[in-house]
């Protein structure tokens, strides 16, 4: 484990490789699993505030689920997350012409309709953040999911570690300085292993 600015970073985040391979997985993380995408407290308010701006980019099924049940829900065993359509796909999921999942919120962001790109948990995946309230910190873990197996292969082929693949999301969450410290620690670990 590495400690960066009091955050506990698992070794896998710097030692394992990963590049999302959308042509292989089609963005399956948007519809697989039992829970919606984890949401931070302030993100629930954000979803309420931007809904009308994002709505034109959503699917009819997603709009129906959101308008019947809300934009988010509480999931036992996980916490607050985005609403699902009948317990299946994320209600904010859309597809492009090639059948690849596209977050409707991100589509709206690309179109300039909102300045909220997408929930940080989606942006950071396959990193998952686990709060350690007792000691006032967080653990930054690599979440392995078999639907991402092609992303592991592509990451190995291109030699891109998880944290580098997620540079933009890590900077969004923790800032440039955190990322630079993490990168420095990763390079140090790599050098030590090659001695
Ligand atoms: S996180 Fe996994 S399932 Fe989601 S887009 Fe990346 S490789 Fe595909």
Closest atom of ligand 1 to 27 CA is 5
Closest atom of ligand 1 to 126 CA is 1
Residue percentage of the chain with pLDDT more than 70: 100
The mean pLDDT value for 47-65 works out to 98
Q: Using alpha carbons only, give the angle 70, 22, 112 rounded to the nearest 5 degrees.
A: 55
Q: 């959503």: which residue's tokens?
A: 58
Using only the alpha carbons of the chain, give its radius of gyration. 17
Answer whether residue 45 shows pLDDT above 80.
yes
Ligand 1 pocket at CB < 6 A: 20-22, 25, 27-29, 125-126, 147-148, 151
Average pLDDT over all residues of the chain: 96
Q: What is the pLDDT of residue 195?
A: 74
CA atoms within 13 A on the CB side of 90: 27
Two structure tokens written together for 44: 């629930």
Q: What global pTM score does this model have?
A: 0.94
């Amino acid at each position: 484990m590495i400690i960066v600015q009091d955050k506990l970073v698992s070794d896998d985040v710097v030692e394992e490789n990963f590049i999302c391979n959308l042509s292989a997985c089609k963005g399956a993380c948007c519809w697989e699993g039992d829970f919606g995408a984890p949401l931070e407290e302030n993100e629930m308010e954000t979803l309420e505030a931007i809904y009308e701006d994002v709505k034109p980019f959503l699917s009819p099924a997603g709009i129906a689920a959101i308008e019947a049940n809300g934009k988010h829900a509480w999931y036992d065993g996980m916490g607050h997350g985005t609403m699902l359509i009948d317990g299946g796909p994320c209600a904010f999921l859309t597809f492009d012409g090639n059948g690849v999942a596209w977050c409707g919120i991100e589509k709206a962001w690309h179109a300039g309709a909102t300045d909220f790109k997408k929930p940080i948990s989606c942006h950071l995946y396959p990193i998952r953040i686990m709060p350690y309230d007792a000691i006032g910190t967080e653990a930054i873990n690599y979440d392995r999911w078999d639907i991402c197996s092609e992303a592991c292969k592509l990451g190995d082929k291109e030699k891109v570690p998880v944290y580098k693949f997620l540079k933009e999301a890590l900077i969004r969450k923790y800032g440039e300085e955190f990322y630079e410290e993490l990168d420095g620690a990763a390079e140090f670990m790599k050098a030590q292993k090659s001695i």
